Amino acid sequence: MLVSTIPQYVLGITNAKADLTTTDATTLYTAPSGADFNSSVITSILVHDDSNNGSTLTVTITDSSSSVFQIFEKAVAGHATEELLTRDLALKEGEILKVQASDANRLLVVASIQEFAIHRTPQVDL
């Protein structure tokens, strides 16, 4: 995802992972804050239930004013894997992506993320 009015460069690609061992909201990813960062793009959120029972995952975004926005509530069958996103999800600097399971010790979550910087990092030939 590119914001055409702002020069952006991919700074890094990462996978944020969580094994939801409790029913508490768990921070999966926080978009970097700082002078060099301006956005992150979540390209995939996979959730897997590794039990026979099934469970429900709730996904929220907390913004810089601490407002919480629920973006998904998805039931996942036992031993099933679900992709939550059909389109990219953009996060501004400092926004927090949280996940919460309805049952402990059943769900695993992986989010694939691209982080964008305002400035290009010089490459050094080795």
Domain containing 99 — which CATH number?
A: 2.60.290
Q: pLDDT value at position 115?
A: 86
pLDDT over 90, % of the chain: 71
In a domain, 57, yes or no: yes
Residue 4, in any domain of the structure: no
Calculate the alpha carbon distances from 6 to 3, 33, 37, 114 in Å: 6, 16, 11, 16
49 within a domain of the structure (yes/no)? yes
> Is 56 among the domain residues?
yes
Instruction: Let me know if residue 125 belongs to a domain.
Output: no
Does residue 100 form part of some domain?
yes
The model's pLDDT over 76-117, given as tens digits with 9 standing for 90+, comes to 999 999 999 999 999 988 899 999 999 999 999 999 999 887
Say if residues 122 and 51 touch (Cβ distance below 8 Å).
Answer: no
Residue 66: pLDDT over 70: yes
Structurally, the chain folds into a number of domains equal to 1
